[in-house]
């Protein structure tokens, strides 16, 4: 009998995963696990994003290097190769190496090829030979040495020329989908920069001020038959500008060749086999991210100039290689927002761009993850209700279960407090407490045991790792450093006008030996 369960349920490995980069435990759901899982998923997403940004940075560096390489070539040799009457015109007499052909690897090989692409081809590589449908040569260019561009491989040259190719396509899509989970992969791949009337529709100013500071991207949702707009983050904006810059020369050349409609699409490039200018298909985009093993094996055998996919270029992504898809990038980015918001489905729905939360629940947030979040939220409410319903201090302490710093902070915040009027304090005292209140009022605990717990917590935080005390928790937004400063201000000598508070502090200090063995604080998690 087959066991009923999700298609990717692995009971033996305690793993449940619906396209999440990090496996979700079947049995663990406490605060410590959820915090650890959130950190783990966040690190994985950042690792993928960093790989994409490294690719983009490398492309920018190659583009900047192009001018230097062209200027470093041998002009005499370039003149020589254009003269058909010179014997061995492609050979460097000083070294005997071919100046345009691999595997000789002439020191000016790349410079010479870039010079030909820039000065003779107008910056966009072209083929010397064209072929008919049955594979016969159809036409030849007037420059035989153009054939060496084809033999070298356009994918190796395009980054230096600042032109979009499959190498650049994948990292750009990766960054945009991680930064903009509101847009799905299909809509992004089908994006157009202008409509049929020639009006620009992809990017627009999204507010007052400089257009460079706030931009909105608009894409079509084919199934919903509507448009979706969203503001670009700083990283998404810089990535989109990179895409537009690297597709602009191809788009302009398309218009010159009469391919006006094709030039309206965002993702344009150069075809591998015949160097024609095309719109990249979704299949090309998928292959640029991860190429099917069988297809890649055949492609490598028959085409030595084929580039590696994004996953292949980054061995550090091997643990997640089977999970990284464009759909999964968007899903994981949205789930991370859900986790960071402490399970707020409204936040998750906004992240995904859903009008109906039911869509988010049904298709994007795995049920075990929702249940784990619900269990944590219910436990917090139960703990708070128990603490507020027990009046005796000793019983209150026995019921306290500080498994997380969020629980502890909620407890400290929810206790009875004493408000000091403005005339009971002065500016000097206010500064000592480190409390910035517009009406110059200070709120402290009225319960000695609660204040004693805060004092013990301050002592506990002395062993915290670097960065822990400055990091606010997701529930209250309070960083542990607040309690360090707050309790520290109470424990210094106070003015005579604050005698009531001095008595409360002394009572709390006296209670510490009686309660400290009953209190267990959460472990440190940065």
* Full set of structural domains in the chain with CATH: 30-62+162-365 (1.10.443), 73-130+142-160 (no CATH), 390-518 (no CATH)
Examine the pLDDT at 381 and tell me if it is beyond 70: no
Least confident among 16-25, 124-133, 260-269, 351-360: 16-25
Average pLDDT, the chain: 77
The span from the CA of 84 to the CA of 139, in Å, is: 19
Examine the pLDDT at 87 and tell me if it is beyond 50: yes
Summarize pLDDT for 476-503 with one digit per residue, the tens: 778 888 888 888 888 877 777 677 788 8
Which two structure tokens, joined as six digits, stand for 6? Answer: 């999700």
Residue found under tokens 């619900």: 374
Summarize pLDDT for 317-367 with one digit per residue, the tens: 999 998 999 999 999 999 898 888 877 788 888 888 887 787 877 777 877
Least confident among 103-107, 174-178, 301-305: 301-305
At residue 37, the pLDDT reads 87
Beta carbons within 10 angstroms of residue 285's beta carbon: 20
Average pLDDT of span 305-314: 83
At residue 239, the pLDDT reads 95
The span from the CA of 169 to the CA of 361, in Å, is: 31
Examine the pLDDT at 119 and tell me if it is beyond 60: yes
251 vs 166, 245, 341, 402, 451, CA distance in Å?
Answer: 16, 10, 42, 61, 68
At residue 226, the pLDDT reads 56
Average pLDDT of span 216-232: 66
The span from the CA of 173 to the CA of 325, in Å, is: 11
Examine the pLDDT at 425 and tell me if it is beyond 50: no
At residue 482, the pLDDT reads 85
At residue 140, the pLDDT reads 76
**DSSP labels, 193-250:** SB-TTS-B-SEEE-SSS-TTT-EEEEEEETTTTEEEEEEPPHHHHHHHHHHHHHHHHH
* Crossing angle of the two packed helices 326-340 and 367-389, in degrees rounded to 10: 0
At residue 325, the pLDDT reads 92
- Return the H-helix or E-strand segment holding 387: helix 367-389
Greatest mean pLDDT among 183-187, 224-228, 373-377:
183-187
Buried b or exposed e, range 341-368, using 16+ CB within 10 angstroms: bbbbbebbbbbbbbeeeeebeeebbbeb
**DSSP labels, 137-204:** EEEE-S-GGGHHHHHH-HHHHHHHHT---HHHHHHHHHHHHHH-TTS-HHHHHT-BSB-TTS-B-SEE
Average pLDDT of span 371-378: 68
The span from the CA of 104 to the CA of 89, in Å, is: 15
Average pLDDT of span 371-400: 56
The span from the CA of 184 to the CA of 223, in Å, is: 11
At residue 251, the pLDDT reads 94
At residue 210, the pLDDT reads 46
| SS3 category, 286 | helix
Q: Is residue 302 very low, low, confident or very high in pLDDT (cuts 50, 70, 90)? A: very low
In terms of pLDDT, which residue wins out, 212 or 48?
48
In terms of pLDDT, which residue wins out, 257 or 369?
257
Check: CB of residue 192 under 8 Å from CB of residue 244.
no
Residues 6+ apart with CB under 8 A from 6: 16, 18
Q: What percent of the chain lies above the pLDDT cut of 70? A: 72
Least confident among 70-84, 88-102, 285-299, 506-520: 285-299
Question: Of the candidates 327, 317, 307, which has an alpha carbon nearest to the alpha carbon of residue 164?
Answer: 307
The span from the CA of 138 to the CA of 339, in Å, is: 59
Greatest mean pLDDT among 170-184, 387-401, 438-452, 498-512:
170-184
Average pLDDT of span 448-469: 86
Summarize pLDDT for 7-62 with one digit per residue, the tens: 444 545 444 556 789 887 766 767 777 888 889 999 999 999 999 999 999 999 99
At residue 262, the pLDDT reads 92
Least confident among 110-114, 133-137, 243-247, 333-337: 133-137
At residue 58, the pLDDT reads 96
Q: Is residue 523 very low, low, confident or very high in pLDDT (cuts 50, 70, 90)? A: confident
Least confident among 24-33, 175-184, 306-315: 24-33
At residue 194, the pLDDT reads 79
Average pLDDT of span 221-247: 80
The span from the CA of 214 to the CA of 173, in Å, is: 20
Check: CB of residue 43 under 8 Å from CB of residue 50.
no
At residue 376, the pLDDT reads 64
At residue 379, the pLDDT reads 60
Q: Is residue 133 very low, low, confident or very high in pLDDT (cuts 50, 70, 90)? A: low
């Amino acid at each position: 009998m087959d066991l009923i369960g999700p298609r990717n349920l692995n009971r033996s490995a305690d793993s449940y995963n619906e396209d999440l980069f990090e496996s979700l435990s079947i049995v663990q759901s406490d605060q410590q696990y959820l915090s650890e899982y959130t950190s783990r998923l966040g690190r994985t997403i950042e690792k993928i994003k960093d790989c994409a940004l490294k690719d983009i940075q490398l492309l920018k560096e190659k583009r900047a290097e192009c001018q230097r390489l062209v200027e470093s070539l041998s002009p005499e040799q370039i003149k020589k190769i254009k003269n058909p009457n010179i014997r061995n015109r492609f050979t460097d007499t000083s070294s005997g190496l071919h100046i345009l052909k691999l595997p000789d690897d002439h020191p000016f090989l790349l410079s010479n090829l870039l010079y030909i692409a820039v000065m003779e081809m107008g910056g966009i590589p072209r083929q010397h030979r064209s072929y008919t449908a049955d594979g016969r040569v159809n036409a030849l260019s007037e420059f035989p040495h153009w054939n060496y561009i084809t033999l070298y491989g356009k994918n190796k040259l395009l980054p230096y020329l600042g032109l979009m190719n499959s190498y650049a396509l994948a990292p750009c899509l990766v960054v945009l989908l991680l930064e903009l989970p509101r847009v799905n992969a299909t809509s992004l791949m089908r994006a157009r920069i202008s409509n049929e009337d020639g009006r620009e529709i992809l990017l627009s100013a999204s507010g007052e001020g400089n257009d460079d500071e706030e931009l909105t991207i608009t894409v079509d949702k084919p199934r919903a038959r509507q448009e979706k707009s969203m503001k670009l983050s700083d990283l998404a904006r810089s990535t989109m500008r990179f895409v537009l810059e690297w597709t602009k020369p191809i788009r302009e050349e398309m218009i010159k060749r009469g391919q006006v409609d094709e030039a309206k699409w965002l993702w344009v490039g150069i075809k591998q086999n015949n160097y024609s200018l095309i719109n990249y298909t979704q299949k090309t985009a998928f292959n640029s991210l991860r190429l099917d093993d069988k297809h890649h094996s055949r492609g490598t055998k028959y085409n030595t100039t084929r580039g590696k996919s994004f996953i292949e270029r980054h061995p550090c992504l091997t643990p997640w290689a089977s999970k990284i898809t464009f759909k999964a990038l968007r899903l994981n980015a949205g789930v991370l927002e859900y986790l960071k918001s402490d399970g707020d489905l409204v936040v998750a729905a906004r992240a995904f761009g859903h009008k109906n939360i039911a869509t988010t629940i049904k298709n994007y947030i795995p049920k075990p993850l929702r249940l784990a979040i619900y269990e944590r939220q219910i436990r917090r409410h139960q703990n708070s209700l128990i603490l507020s319903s027990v009046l005796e201090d000793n019983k209150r302490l026995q019921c306290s279960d500080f498994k997380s710093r969020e629980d502890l902070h909620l407890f400290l915040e929810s206790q009875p407090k004493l408000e000091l009027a403005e005339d009971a304090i002065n500016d000097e005292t206010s500064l000592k407490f480190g409390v910035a209140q517009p009406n110059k009022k200070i709120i402290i605990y009225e319960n000695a045991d609660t204040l004693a717990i805060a004092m013990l917590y301050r002592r506990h935080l002395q062993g915290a790792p670097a960065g822990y005390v400055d990091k606010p928790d997701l529930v209250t937004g309070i960083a542990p450093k607040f309690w360090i400063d707050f309790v520290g201000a109470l424990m210094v000598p106070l003015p005579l006008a604050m005698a009531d508070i001095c008595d409360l502090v002394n009572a709390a200090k006296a209670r510490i030996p009686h309660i400290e063995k009953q209190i267990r604080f959460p472990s440190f998690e940065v």
